Amino acid sequence: MAGTAQAAQDEGLNIVTFHRLAAFIYEYSGIKMPPSKITMLEGRLRRRLRATGLSNFEEYCDHLFDKDGEGELVNFIDAVTTNKTDFFREPRHFDVMQGPVLSDLADRGHREIRAWSSACSTGAEPYTMAMILEEAVARRDIDSYAILATDLSSDVLQQAHRAVYDAQFLDPVPQDLASKYLMQPLARHRTEMRVSPKLRRRVSFARLNLMDESYPVGDAMHMIFCRNVLIYFDKQTQRKVLSRLCECLLPGGFLFIGHSESIVGLDLPVRQVANTVFVKD
Ligand SMILES: C[S@@+](CC[C@H](N)C(=O)[O-])C[C@H]1O[C@@H](n2cnc3c(N)ncnc32)[C@H](O)[C@@H]1O
């Protein structure tokens, strides 16, 4: 009995190892990991412990920081990132995008739109943007568009690239857009649907860490979405990330952040045009 209890205790994530991992997560990804998250982190890493065949979290931590453990970094990051997302999440943003944002850009002669989803998770955000932009092309409000979608997690990028989603997850897509831009399942019993090739062709995916010193995204963007990732960062990191994102925006380009996020006190070269939507001066 005592031996079993000892074994169970050995398997737990102790506070010293937690601090080692938390410091690394913060430095590498910017994600804050206060001690209140110890149970969450333990839960998320338990699968990695089993997959690596290591017997406790101390060994796992040593392996991760060892030169031979570099391959584990990708799995570790996949495990620690929170990837919750939805199609048409925070739908007001997409009303603002297809209304005032696109008409303002078109009025200023921008008809070939470059947009960036900078923490794209499994792809719901960039494909929602693609539906809005494809509709704008059909109405001849713009001529064409290209979307860059990036994230830190390789696993979500793979899922996003595949673009196959459960029907329930696709519920928020309005019926008229679903009939145009989602492919019906081939087999009757399947409930999964894939985003149409027409949209997929317009979205390119890449791994990009928002903690990097610069963002090699090519020509400046007409709009950047950075939603529901800033909440994981402290103020100092938010300022650095948003300043770099602003450098990637055209003057007159638009920045969208999550509804629960704020830029107050960050001293950025933007002014608010709608709730959590900003234009670069
Ligand atoms: C909660 S999801 C938000 C997805 C989408 N933007 C939305 O609002 O639905 C947060 C995403 O940020 C990504 N992320 C976390 N830290 C990051 C970093 N340092 N660089 C890039 N992406 C990061 C995570 O992998 C995750 O997919």
Task: Give the number of the atom of ligand 1 that is nearest the alpha carbon of residue 225.
Answer: 6
* Ligand 1 atom with least separation from CA of 89: 9
Kindly state the greatest CA–CA separation across the chain.
75
Over residues 199-224, mean pLDDT: 98
Instruction: Give me the mean pLDDT over the 214-236 stretch.
Output: 98
User: d(Cα 77, Cα 152) in Å, to the nearest integer?
Assistant: 8
The model's pLDDT over 99-135, given as tens digits with 9 standing for 90+, comes to 999 999 999 999 999 999 999 999 999 999 999 999 9
Would you say residue 202 has pLDDT above 80?
Answer: yes
CB 93 less than 6 A from any atom of ligand 1:
no
Q: How confident is the model at residue 184 (pLDDT cuts 50, 70, 90)?
A: confident
Give yes or no for residue 151 having a pLDDT over 80. yes
**pLDDT over threshold 80, residue 1:** no
Statement: residue 210 has pLDDT above 50: yes
- Which residues, 6+ apart, have CB-to-CB distance to 79 below 8 Å? 44, 45, 47, 48
31 CB near ligand 1 (under 6 Å) = yes
Domain 92-280 CATH superfamily: Vaccinia Virus protein VP39 (3.40.50.150)
CATH fold of the domain at 2-80: Chemotaxis Receptor Methyltransferase Cher; domain 1 (1.10.155)
Strand order in the sheet with 144-151: 203-207, 144-151, 112-117, 221-226, 249-257, 277-280, 270-274
Ligand 1 centroid to Cα of residue 188, in Å, is 34
Tell me, what's the pLDDT at 10?
53
Distance 4 CA to ligand 1 centre (A): 39
- Annotated active-site positions, please? 44, 151
Closest CA to 194 of 206, 178, 210: 178
DSSP-derived secondary structure letter, 220 = P
The chain-wide mean pLDDT, for the chain, equals 94
Domain boundaries, the chain: 2-80, 92-280
CA of 100 to the centre of ligand 1 (A): 26
What's the CA dihedral at 75, 78, 81, 86 to 10 degrees?
-170
Phi-psi sector, 90: left (phi>0), alpha (psi -120 to 50), beta: left
Ligand 1, atom 2, residue with closest C-alpha: 83
Report the run of H or E that residue 181 belongs to, with start and end: helix 175-181
Whole-prediction pTM: 0.94
